[in-house]
């Protein structure tokens, strides 16, 4: 297991200690705005409703068509490969993880819609935030100024026992446009509702890995 050796210079005895990397590999990056334009354009002709196969209580969730499936995954490849390269670096595992796409869909979230506590199918998942209207950004700012409640439209990831001491069981984020999160599909998460009369758009997907490195390293560290 990878660890980081630290010397506490603030301590009179300068006690050295190891900090161990632990838990799921949750990754955040910024995508090219051109990718956002592409994803939105490819979504315009979509007709297949994906709601019944997903956990979210959203206004609409549409599966990308067979015609656009390969084009979309080809555009996403550079970011997904980036995730696995970062994973390999942080966990010291053998490079060359290979993966297969499973499904990719677009989410249209409106006022009072939400995504309950859930996990995904496959081995890894991602979400990309494509459009956050100005009225929602204003609501987020106003809520942050008057309360410490979760931000409207925020996303929380959960891992471990929520009652544990001396540990972090939740990571919470206020998404911004062109932000991408990627994570193991079993990592449970939820999306909070907002009140603004608008539509926030995101794209999500699931994929699987197809070599023994996943069985040897990933499941060993996470199960």
Q: 218 in a domain, yes or no?
A: yes
Helix H or strand E segment including 171: strand 170-173
Spatial separation of the C-alpha atoms in residues 36 and 41, rounded to whole Å: 9
Structure tokens at 115: 């995504």
pLDDT at 17: 64
Q: 157 in a domain, yes or no?
A: yes
Specify whether the backbone of 113 is left (phi greater than 0), alpha (psi in -120 to 50) or beta.
Answer: beta
Q: Which residues contact 97 (CB under 8 A, 6 or more apart)?
A: 84, 87, 88, 209, 211, 213, 214
Q: What is the mean pLDDT of each run of 10 residues along the chain (223 residues)?
A: 54 62 87 97 81 66 89 96 87 76 93 88 95 93 82 89 71 92 94 93 92 52 42
- Give the CA angle between residues 130, 29, 148 to the nearest 5°: 75
- Backbone phi, then psi, for 40, in 5-degree steps? -70, -40
Q: 52 in a domain, yes or no?
A: yes
The CATH number that applies at residue 206 is: 2.60.120.620
Q: 3 in a domain, yes or no?
A: no
Burial of 94 from C-beta contacts in 10 A (0-12 / 13-18 / 19+): exposed
pLDDT at 160: 80
Instruction: Please report, to the nearest 10 degrees, the dihedral formed by the alpha carbons of residues 64, 114, 126, 70 taken in order.
Output: 0
Q: 15 in a domain, yes or no?
A: no
Spatial separation of the C-alpha atoms in residues 50 and 30, rounded to whole Å: 26
What is the span of the domain harbouring residue 164?
A: 24-222
Per the structure, the count of domains in the chain is 1
pLDDT at 221: 45
Q: 19 in a domain, yes or no?
A: no
pTM for this prediction = 0.84
Strands 124-131 and 188-191: unpaired
Q: Which residues contact 223 (CB under 8 A, 6 or more apart)?
A: none
Candidates 154, 158, 164; CA nearest to 114 is 154
Q: What is the DSSP letter of 57?
A: B
Candidates 69, 67, 98, 83; CA nearest to 31 is 83
Q: 171 in a domain, yes or no?
A: yes
Distances in Å between the alpha carbon of 204 and those of 46, 64, 211, 223? 15, 10, 23, 24
Handedness of CA 191, 192, 193, 195 (dihedral sign): negative
Q: 6 in a domain, yes or no?
A: no
């Amino acid at each position: 297991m990878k660890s980081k050796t630290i010397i506490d210079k603030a301590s009179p005895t300068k006690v050295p200690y190891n900090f161990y990397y632990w838990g799921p590999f949750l990754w955040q990056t910024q995508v090219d705005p051109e990718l956002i334009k592409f994803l939105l354009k490819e979504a315009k002709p979509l007709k297949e409703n994906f709601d019944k196969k997903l956990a979210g209580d959203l206004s609409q969730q549409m599966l990308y068509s067979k015609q656009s499936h390969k084009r979309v995954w080809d555009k996403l490849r550079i970011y997904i490969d980036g995730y696995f390269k970062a994973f390999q670096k942080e966990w010291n595992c053998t490079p060359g993880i290979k993966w297969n796409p499973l499904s990719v869909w677009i989410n249209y979230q409106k006022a009072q819609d939400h995504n309950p506590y859930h996990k995904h199918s496959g081995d890894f998942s991602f979400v990309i935030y494509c459009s956050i209207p100005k009225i929602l950004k204003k609501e987020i700012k106003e809520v942050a100024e008057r309360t410490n409640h979760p931000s409207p439209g925020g996303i929380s990831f959960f891992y471990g026992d929520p009652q544990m001491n001396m540990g972090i069981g939740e990571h919470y984020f206020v998404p911004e446009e062109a932000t991408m999160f990627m994570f193991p599909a079993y990592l449970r998460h939820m999306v909070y509702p907002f009140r603004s009369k608008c539509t926030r758009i995101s794209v999500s997907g699931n994929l699987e890995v197809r070599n023994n490195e996943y069985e040897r390293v990933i499941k060993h560290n996470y199960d």
